């Protein structure tokens, strides 16, 4: 029972994902009714675990989680479960309710309008683009009209229009909301406070204000902690020097020396653990195939197909990509960008020709090019032409893949960690044609400048799809193909 105005309260919560994999240690925080709160933390810190504990899908090892009586909760997930991709829209939305909803169609229309999407209710989920599926996941939570809305990376795959629509919705939303996102600008438009899950201490820090307020507060605290420790270090050394001086005098001075050493030990204990900020991946390079294997045209594109008002339309173009040339594929959600990328990558695109000796490196937004049953170790080793464990581990470490993580199954990683594994594979594969479909999805925003620089410097041929203009602006683009024009 929660009776202090809070709708969710964690008290001394501990949770582990298996032995020796702590996620939460003595976590305590509360969320008040009507609050719009951001849940932040490094990839793999356990943000989605917090959501699972709130909904009851997970149970804490110890501690208490108090939820307000009769509170209804709905979660907009990050990705569609594969088992639901072959449902019709009507079946998918009906699945959000325990009981049969007889007036489901008007409810579907209302939530589709809320997420700015038009669609036939008998259409299969699989037929929607990644951006449209992201809107459907949001709509699946909205249709339940919950007291508490949990959004897990809701801007992934959304184009600018979709993000603006979602932002306006949340600004005007009257109920409570907790959002996991790495998009600072999006969060700052509506948030009232921040829950920061520290990946090192496994504890939640609760702040008032937006993300930039939090970063400023943390920076001030780190500066104060460093200053305090520096002062204590001086005092520790001074007491040690005095202790050594008096110890050499002998006799009663040894008693004084002992007191000096005790004082030095007390000062050492008074030092504080300075907060460790989120680590950023190391700068990296994606090596291209040898230049002699990329002589001449790498990719030729003379035709493609788009989807407009639910109908396919054939288009003609003349694109010729050679080594060290970068193409940006643009257009709104649902027009067919991901479909075109997939067909090019698999060699089934009508009007597209890839030179026979060219190796394709394909980064899919749903990570379906990864085998979720493989361990990270096996996945990375299999990406190499000549397996070299020492080199593989060095590359993996640069993407924060260390320790037990490398022996973890891909399917057990967070979405952000899967993205880092996918990038590590590209480094090890040494492709001649790099195809990237929304590579910023799920990735901690601290990593994005590093990734952008690596893509900008890539010396093979590259095709990029991204709805994040700030990210694209950091990458060298030689040609743009706008599918809408």
**Which alpha helices (DSSP H) does 56-172 contain, by range?**
89-94, 104-114, 130-142, 160-172
Element (H, E) at 30: strand 22-32
**pLDDT exceeds 60 at position 52:** yes
Residue found under tokens 């989680």: 65
158 vs 59, more confident: 59
Q: What is the pLDDT of residue 322?
A: 95
Q: Is 275 part of any domain?
A: no
Q: Is the pLDDT of residue 59 over 90?
A: yes
In a shared domain, residues 200 and 336: no
Same domain, residue pair 195 and 309: no
Range of the domain at 332: 291-482
pLDDT bracket for residue 268 (50, 70, 90): low
Identify whether residues 176 and 298 lie together within a single domain: no
Where residue 379 falls among pLDDT bands split at 50, 70, 90? very high
Rounded CA gap, 349 and 347, in Å?
6
183 pLDDT above the threshold of 80: no
- Position 232 in a domain: no
Last residue within a domain, chosen from 214, 243, 268: 214
In a domain, 175, yes or no: yes
Instruction: Please check whether residues 22 and 154 belong to one and the same domain.
Output: yes
pLDDT per residue as tens digits for the range 101-127: 989 999 999 889 888 888 899 999 998
Q: 3-class DSSP state for residue 199? A: coil
Helix 389-398 vs helix 415-429: crossing angle, to nearest 10? 130
Confidence of residue 222 (pLDDT cuts 50, 70, 90): low
Give, in order, the Cα–Cα distances in Å from 60 to each of 45, 72, 173: 16, 20, 30
Whether residues 346 and 454 share a domain: the answer is: yes
Domain stop point among 180, 214, 248:
214
Q: Which residue has the higher pLDDT, 81 or 8?
A: 8
pLDDT in tens, 422-457: 999 999 999 999 999 999 988 887 899 999 999 999
* CATH value at residue 474: 3.40.50.300
pLDDT in tens, 335-370: 889 899 999 999 998 899 999 999 999 999 889 899
Same domain flag for 205 and 313 = no
Tell me: do 307 and 444 sit in the same domain.
yes
In a domain, 405, yes or no: yes
Distance CA 325, CA 463 (A): 9
Looking at the fold, whether 466 and 371 belong to one and the same domain comes out as yes
Query: Is residue 95 in some structural domain?
Result: no
With a CB cutoff of 8 Å and minimum separation 6, the contacts of 337 are 129, 329, 330, 331, 437, 465, 483
Q: Who contacts 346 (Cβ-Cβ below 8 Å, separation ≥6)?
A: none
Q: What percent of the chain has pLDDT over 90?
A: 51
Supply the DSSP string of 33-65, one letter for each residue. TT-EEEEEE-TTSSHHHHHHHHHTSS--SEEEE
Higher pLDDT residue, 61 or 278?
Answer: 61
Give mean pLDDT, residues 71-93. 89
Express each pLDDT in 132-172 by its tens digit: 888 899 899 989 989 999 998 888 777 777 788 888 888 88
For the chain, what is the domain count?
2
- State residue 260 phi and psi, 5-degree precision: -65, -40
pLDDT in tens, 279-336: 789 999 999 999 999 989 999 999 999 888 778 889 999 999 999 999 999 988 888 8
Contact in structure between 281 and 399 (CB atoms under 8 Å) = yes
Q: What is the mean pLDDT of residues 405-422?
A: 92
- Looking at 190, 214, 238, the residue that finishes a domain is 214
What's the pLDDT at 1? 47
Are residue 205 and residue 319 in the same domain, yes or no?
no
Which DSSP state fits 184?
H
Residues 444 and 321 in one domain: yes
Average predicted confidence (pLDDT) for the chain = 87
The answer to whether residue 132 sits within a structural domain is no
Separation in Å, CA 470 to CA 106, 212, 228, 453: 38, 17, 38, 13
In a domain, 364, yes or no: yes
Reported confidence tier of residue 185, pLDDT bands at 50, 70, 90: confident
Q: In the structure encoding, which two tokens stand for residue 397, read together? A: 């470490």
327 and 412 share one domain: yes
In a domain, 352, yes or no: yes
Residue that wins the pLDDT comparison between 95 and 77: 95
Q: Quick one: pLDDT at residue 134? A: 83
Instruction: Supply the pTM of this predicted model.
Output: 0.69
Q: Identify the pLDDT of residue 290.
A: 93
Give the chain's length.
485
DSSP labels, 425-461: HHHHH--SEEEEESTTTT--TTTHHHHHHHHHT--SE
Q: Is residue 194 located within the same domain as residue 308?
A: no
What is the average pLDDT across 44-70?
A: 92
Q: Place 414 in a pLDDT band, splitting at 50, 70 and 90.
A: confident
What is the DSSP annotation of 337-390?
A: HHHHHHHHHHT--TTEEE-TTPPEEEE-TT-TTS-TTSBHHHHHHHT-SS--HH
């Amino acid at each position: 029972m929660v009776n202090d105005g809070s709708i969710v309260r964690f008290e001394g919560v501990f949770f582990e994902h298996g032995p020796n994999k702590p996620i939460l240690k003595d976590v305590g925080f509360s969320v008040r009714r009507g609050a719009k709160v951001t849940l932040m933390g490094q990839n793999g810190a356990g943000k989605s675990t917090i959501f699972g504990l709130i909904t009851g899908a997970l149970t804490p090892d110890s501690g208490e989680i108090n939820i307000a009586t009769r509170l209804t909760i709905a979660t907009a997930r990050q990705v569609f479960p594969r088992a639901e991709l072959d449902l019709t829209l009507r079946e998918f939305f009906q699945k959000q309710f325990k009981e049969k909803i007889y007036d489901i169609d008007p409810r579907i229309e209302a939530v589709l309008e809320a997420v700015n999407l038009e669609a036939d209710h008998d259409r299969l989920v699989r037929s929607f683009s990644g951006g449209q599926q992201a809107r459907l996941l949001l709509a699946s939570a909205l249709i339940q009209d919950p007291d508490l809305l949990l959004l897990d990376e809701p801007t992934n795959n959304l184009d600018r229009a979709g993000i603006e629509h979602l932002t306006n919705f949340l600004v005007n939303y009257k109920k409570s909301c907790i959002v996991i996102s790495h998009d600072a600008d999006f969060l700052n438009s509506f948030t009232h406070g921040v829950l920061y899950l520290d990946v090192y201490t496994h504890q939640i820090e609760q702040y008032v204000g937006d993300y930039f307020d939090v970063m400023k507060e943390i920076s001030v605290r780190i500066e104060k902690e460093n200053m305090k420790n520096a002062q204590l270090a001086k005092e520790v050394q001074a007491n040690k020097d005095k202790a050594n001086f008096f110890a050499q005098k002998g006799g009663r001075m040894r008693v004084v020396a002992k007191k000096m050493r005790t004082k030095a030990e007390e000062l050492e204990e008074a030092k504080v653990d300075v907060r460790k900020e989120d680590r950023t991946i190391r700068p990296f390079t994606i090596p291209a195939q040898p230049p002699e294997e990329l002589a001449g045209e790498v990719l030729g594109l003379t035709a493609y197909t788009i989807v407009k008002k639910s109908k396919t339309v054939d288009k003609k173009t003349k694109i010729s990509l050679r080594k060290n040339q970068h193409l940006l594929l643009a257009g709104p959600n649902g027009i067919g960008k991901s479909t075109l990328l997939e067909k090019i990558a698999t060699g089934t695109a009508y009007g597209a020709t890839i030179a026979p000796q060219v190796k394709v490196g394909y980064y899919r937004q749903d990570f379906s090019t990864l085998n979720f049953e493989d361990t990270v170790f096996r996945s990375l080793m299999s990406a190499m032409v000549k397996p070299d464990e020492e080199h593989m581990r060095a590359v993996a470490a640069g993407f924060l893949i260390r320790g037990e993580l490398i022996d973890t199954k891909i399917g057990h990683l967070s979405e952000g960690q899967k993205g880092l594994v996918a990038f590590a594979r590209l480094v090890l594969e040494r492709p001649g044609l790099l195809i990237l479909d929304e590579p910023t999805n799920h990735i901690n925003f601290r990593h994005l400048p590093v990734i952008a620089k690596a893509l900008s410097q890539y010396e093979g041929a590259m095709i990029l799809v991204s709805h994040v203009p700030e990210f694209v602006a950091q990458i060298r683009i030689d040609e743009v193909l706008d599918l809408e024009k």
